[in-house]
Structure 1
Amino acid sequence: MRADRLVSLVLLLRQRGRLSATALAQELEVSTRTVLRDIEALSVAGVPVHAERGRYGGFALLPGFRTELTGLNHDEALALLVAGSRRGAQAFGLGSALASAMLKVVDALPESHRDTAAGVAERLLIDPETDLLARRLDGDDVPDPIAGEVRRAVFAGRKLRIRYAALGRPPRWRTVDPIGLVTVREQGYLLAIRSGEDRTYRLSRILAAEELAEPAERPDRVDLDRAWQERGTRFRTGGDQVTVLVRVDPARREELVGTALAVLAEEAEETQEGEESGADGWLRLEVTFQDARHAEWVLWKLAADAEALSPQWLRTALRERASALAARYGASTR
């Protein structure tokens, strides 16, 4: 790991010029003390890195220095394969590997193309962490050691022991046969087999993981896309799902559809004259949710831009919640 970090440090200095110890520490995700030790190690190894004093000082390489330390390691190559989604790499614990790999890719470019590539990259922003309303687009936060252990078991074809916190249940250990990893909307999932049954685990709910020496009992080949679709079908047609008839402002339709399990029917409401209101009028949809709590949460989030028409228990739950909130804010402050 340190060798990879030293290479990344050299490439950062080559591509960006003078950088402070603080800036290098942020880029490499280590402490400034570690950076200073790495700088000393590079100097001892003959890399011409020197310190520049002053307010705008930092560390820099002698002009014209070039190294061929650009070979990609396993995780960096893997990170490039999932680089179509930066958040996908993050969900699988490959964020730092992706950053390191991209440094090596840029450094491997001919000098005539390197500056052009850097300039173009500055004008592209993919998957920012917030939208235009400054709302954070939260994805899964999976510690790198856990993600790495899960990855290794998946690729090596070995059994995996995980401590998993299922929703609404206390965490417990279980041993699974890992099949593959899937990322959907910035959330990572482990597809596995347990006791002969298909299982799907949210990566962010895995509290600890241990790759075992025993080979996994799984098919030699897998079609992850098909496996994901089949599990999605079983998920949508089982459990405590509820069907809701709801009317919604077209401006919030995508938000409703994006959080529901499925849309069973949809139509535009009609005006009093019997003519369809079209895009400017509200829509009426029949949708399914995972359970009662899921349905209540989605409709509450849509506030006055949606109305649950049925079932009655959902209308009652939303009315009671709204009444409690109105009573809270109707009282004078202490």
Structure 2
Amino acid sequence: MRADRLVSLVLLLRQHGRLSATALARELEVSARTVLRDIEALSAAGVPVYAERGRNGGFALLPGFQTELTGLNHDEALALLVAGSRRRAQAFGLGPALASGMRKVVDALPEDHRTTAAGAVQRLLIDPETDLLARKVAAEEVPDAVVREVRRAVFAGRKLRIHYQATDRDPDWRTIDPIGLVTVGTQSYLLATRAGADRTYRLSRVLAAEALDEPAQRSEQVDLDQAWQERSSRFRSGGDTVTVLARVDPARRDSLVDTALSVGSEQADGDGWLRLDVTFQDRRHAEWALWQVSPRAEVLAPEWLRGALRDRAAEIMDSYVAEPQRRVPPRS
């Protein structure tokens, strides 16, 4: 780990010219004190790194210093393969490896290409943390130790023991045969089998994980995309799903459909609105989704959902009928 960090430190100085200990610590995700120790180690190994004092000072390499540090390690190469965006690499615990690997890729470019590439990167933004309405995209938090163990079992083909928190149940330990990892938006899933039956686990609900020595019972080859599609189909047809018949303003059609599991029949109504059969994950999901597009949508069935939305609307209306409650500041 330290050898990779020292390589990254040299590459950062080569690509940026001069950086403070604070900036290096932020890039390498370590403390400033660790950076200072690494600088001393590089100097002792003959790397011509020097310090510049003053307000705009920092650490730099002697001009003309060249490296041959272009070899990617396993995690760095893997991170580049899943680097459709930094968030996707981050979801599998490969964020630091992606940053390190990209530094090596940039360093391996000829000087003129390196300058062009650096300028081009500033013109591209993939998967920002907020959308146009400034709503923050909430990424799931998964401990690094959990991701490492899960990833190790998946790649090595070993059985995996996980401490899993299922919905509305106490956490329990399970031994499974991992198949692969899937990320969808901000959520990551572990596809596996347990006692021969297909299972899908939310990675954020894995509280602890341990890769075992015993080989996993699984096929040598897997079509992960097909496996995901099959499990998605089974999930949508499960017993907890709710199908809603609704009328919706065409201008809000996509807003509703984008939150649904699936859309069945769709036809134009007499007043220009659309009539849809839309399936949601459960009752709470259905109520939330239809409330988001109200009043530009009307539930026709089931009746319990019409009642739930009516009660919610009435409760909000009642809170605005009376005079507002004004808080009186306490006497000093």
- Indicate whether 1:82 and 2:82 are aligned: yes
Partner residue, 2:310? 319
**What letter corresponds to residue 51 of structure 2 in structure 1?**
A
> What code does the residue aligned with 1:320 have?
D
CA RMSD of aligned residues (A): 1.5
Cα separation, partners in 2 of 1:267 and 1:39, compared to 1, 3 Å: same
Alpha-carbon distance in structure 2 between the residues aligned to 1:210 and 1:261: 33
1:202-221 correspondence to structure 2 within 5 Å? 202-221=202-221
For 1:269, the equivalent position in structure 2 comes to 269
Shift of 1:138: 2.2
* TM-aligned CA deviation for residue 29 of structure 1: 1.3
| Segment of structure 1 superposing worse, 155-164 or 28-37 | 28-37
Q: Does 1:99 align with 2:88?
A: no
Matching residue's letter, 2:79: A
Separation (CA, whole Å) in 1 of partners of 2:10 and 2:20? 13
Compared CA separation, residues 6 and 250, structure 1 to 2 (3 A): farther
Aligned equivalents of 1:182, 1:130: Cα separation in 2: 22
Q: Distance in 1 between matches of 2:152 and 2:188?
A: 15
Whole-Å Cα distance in 2 between the matches of residues 61 and 307 of structure 1? Answer: 66
Conserved 8 A contact 1:179-1:190: yes
Given the two structures, how large is their TM-score scaled by the length of structure 2?
Answer: 0.93
Q: 2:274 aligns with which of 271, 283, 286?
A: 283
Structure 2: 5+ residue runs without aligned partners? Answer: 328-332
Q: Identify the residue that residue 53 of structure 1 maps to in structure 2.
A: 53
Q: How many residues were matched structurally? A: 325
- Is contact 1:236-1:262 (8 Å) kept? yes
1:200-222 Cα deviation digits (max 9, x unpaired): 01111111111111111111211
The answer on 1:19 being equivalent to 2:10 is: no
1:299 aligns to what? Answer: 290
Evaluate the alpha carbon distance shift between residue 252 and residue 147 of structure 1 in structure 2; reply closer, same or farther with a 3 A threshold: farther
Give how far 1:264 is off: 0.5
d(CA) in 2 for partners of 1:314, 1:267 = 21
1:132 counterpart SS class: coil
Structure 2 counterpart of 1:28: 28
Give the distance between the partners of 2:317 and 2:50, measured in 1 at CA. Answer: 65
With structure 1 as the length reference, what TM-score do the two structures score? 0.93
Does the residue aligned with 1:70 lie in a helix, a strand or coil?
coil
**2:330 match:** none
Name the CA distance, whole Å, in 2 between partners of 1:312 and 1:182: 36
Q: Does 1:128 align with 2:131?
A: no
Q: Give secondary structure in 2 for the equivalent of 1:259.
A: coil
What is the CA–CA distance in structure 2 between the aligned matches of 1:111 and 1:233, rounded to whole Å?
A: 50
Contiguous gaps of at least 5 residues in structure 1: 272-276
The 2-side partners of 1:147 and 1:135 are apart by: 27
Distance in 2 (alpha carbons) for counterparts of 1:86 and 1:249: 36
Q: Structure 2 vs 1, CA of residues 255 and 207 (structure 1 numbering), >3 Å: closer, same or farther?
A: farther
Aligned to 2:115: 115
What amino acid does structure 2 have at the position aligned with 1:38?
D
Looking at structure 2, the residues matched to 253 and 47 of structure 1 have their Cα atoms a distance apart, in angstroms, of 61
Over 3 Å counting, the alpha-carbon distance change for 1:13 and 1:288 in structure 2 is same
SS in 1 for 2:124: coil
**Identity percentage over the alignment?**
74
How much does 1:189 deviate?
Answer: 0.8
Q: How far, CA to CA, are the matches of 2:83 and 2:3 in structure 1?
A: 23
Q: Who is 1:148 aligned against?
A: 148
Question: 1:65 is matched with which residue?
Answer: 65
Change (3 A) 1:305 1:13: farther
Q: CA deviation at 1:329?
A: 4.4
How far does the alpha carbon of each residue in 1:32-89 deviate from its partner, in whole angstroms, 9 at most, with x for none? 1221221121111111111111111111111111111121000000011111233221
Distance 1:30 1:328 in 2: 51
Change (3 A) 1:56 1:179: same
- Structure 1 pair 213–94 and aligned structure 2 pair: CA distance change class (3 A): same
